[in-house]
């Protein structure tokens, strides 16, 4: 997933009380997640430019918004660094650091959560180059800092880019190999559990299995993910490889990820969502729409751990008229593949 440059967008502040409401339903197969923060469609101004976070929170077709990206865990002054493309211009930085101070986004997080949206923060992206941590001790210390910075506020002196607002979880999206991310993720899991129920760890591996960048995190004994959304684009196993009407999908490998969820994942209740480009220019390959996408969604809905669709990204979805509405409709109404066909694919996985 790619980072974009900055363009100014005017907006007004909104302040609402933060609530525990969240849009993600682990029992449902019609969840929709969108990445926000990179202005992937690339418009510098106007309605098709990425808008402030709260602009998308009245959309009933969206359940989860993933803010992207935290591009350095330990940047200047040992503090995290974020990139939100044009929306970063609405932030200042804390003195002596490159860490954003974002009152507008803080207010929008509360607004979105009050409207029933799950808000996550993604670590990684195409320009993440730290490569993880030198040691497990460094990783666990960094996890403590990240959760103090973005989780529920405690008495710590950590810098708070979003003030009293906090995210509902952390997403991992690594495009290159990383070290000691397992102890980092495991410590985050412990800290989240101590903060209360409902906090999520999610991930966006590439669709080839095992994923090169996140393989150790996804392995037995790795990190207890709640949801993953493999990127079924820019890879041989992407949506473009789906064979219409075929029970056997030898390249399109959603069945492999469903098997991982049932047999390998640390959390055997993990859900798998279908990662898709939200527009023709969102990825080099894999964009699919219309009846073909309806058929693909019907095919994957019968897999036990299927949980919905993830889109890259919301600016692409809003520029692609009707796409977001159609996907939600497909999730609710698409004819599912026959149970026998899915059993046959799962048996051969």
Residues annotated as part of the active site = 175
Six-digit token pair at 216?
């150790």
Residue matched to tokens 């994957």: 300
**CA distance to 34, 42, 79, 83, 208, per residue, from 75 (Å):** 26, 26, 5, 12, 31
Cα 78 to chain centroid distance, Å, stands at: 25
Tokens of residue 339, six digits? 């149970």
For residue 189, the surrounding DSSP H or E stretch is: helix 181-195
Residues β-bridged to residue 295: none
Instruction: Answer for the pair 270, 203: CB distance below 8 angstroms, yes or no.
Output: no
CA distance 28 to 207: 22
**For residue 157, cis peptide bond before it (omega within 30 degrees of 0):** no
With tokens 């992407």, the residue in question is 238
In order of 75, 91, 97, 151, the CA distances from 161 in angstroms are: 14, 9, 12, 11
55 in Cβ contact with 69 (< 8 Å): no
Return the sign of the alpha-carbon dihedral for residues 137, 140, 144, 150: positive
């Amino acid at each position: 997933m790619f980072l974009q440059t900055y363009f100014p967008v005017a907006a007004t502040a909104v302040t609402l009380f933060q609530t525990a409401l969240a849009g993600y339903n682990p029992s449902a197969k019609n969840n929709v997640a969108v990445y926000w923060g990179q202005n992937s469609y690339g418009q510098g101004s106007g309605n098709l430019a990425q808008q402030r976070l709260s602009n998308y929170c009245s959309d009933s077709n969206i359940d989860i918004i993933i803010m992207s990206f935290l591009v350095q865990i330990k940047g200047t002054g040992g503090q995290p660094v974020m990139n939100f493309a044009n929306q970063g211009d609405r932030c200042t930085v804390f003195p002596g650091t490159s860490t954003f101070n974002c009152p507008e986004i803080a207010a929008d997080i509360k607004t979105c959560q009050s409207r029933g949206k799950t808000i996550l923060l993604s670590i990684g992206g195409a320009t993440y180059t730290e490569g993880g941590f030198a040691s497990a001790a460094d990783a666990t210390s960094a996890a403590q800092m990240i959760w103090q910075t973005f989780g529920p506020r405690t008495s710590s002196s950590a810098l708070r880019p979003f003030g009293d607002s906090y995210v509902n979880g952390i997403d991992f999206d690594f495009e290159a190999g990383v070290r000691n991310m397992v102890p980092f993720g495991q410590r985050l899991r412990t800290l989240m559990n101590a903060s209360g129920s409902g906090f999520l760890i999610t991930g966006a591996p590439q669709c080839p299995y095992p994923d090169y960048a996140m393989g150790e995190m996804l392995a037995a004994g790795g990190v207890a993910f709640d949801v993953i959304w493999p990127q079924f684009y820019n890879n041989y196993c992407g949506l473009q490889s789906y064979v219409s009407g075929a029970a056997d999908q030898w390249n399109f490998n959603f069945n492999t990820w469903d098997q991982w969820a049932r047999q390998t994942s640390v959390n055997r209740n993990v859900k798998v969502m279908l990662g898709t480009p939200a527009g023709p220019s969102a990825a080099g390959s894999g964009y699919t729409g219309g009846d073909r996408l309806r058929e693909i969604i019907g095919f994957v809905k019968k897999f036990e751990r299927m949980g919905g669709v993830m889109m890259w990204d919301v600016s692409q979805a809003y520029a692609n008229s009707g796409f977001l509405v159609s996907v939600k409709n497909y999730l609710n109404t698409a004819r599912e593949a026959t149970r026998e066909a899915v059993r046959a694919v799962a048996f051969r996985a």
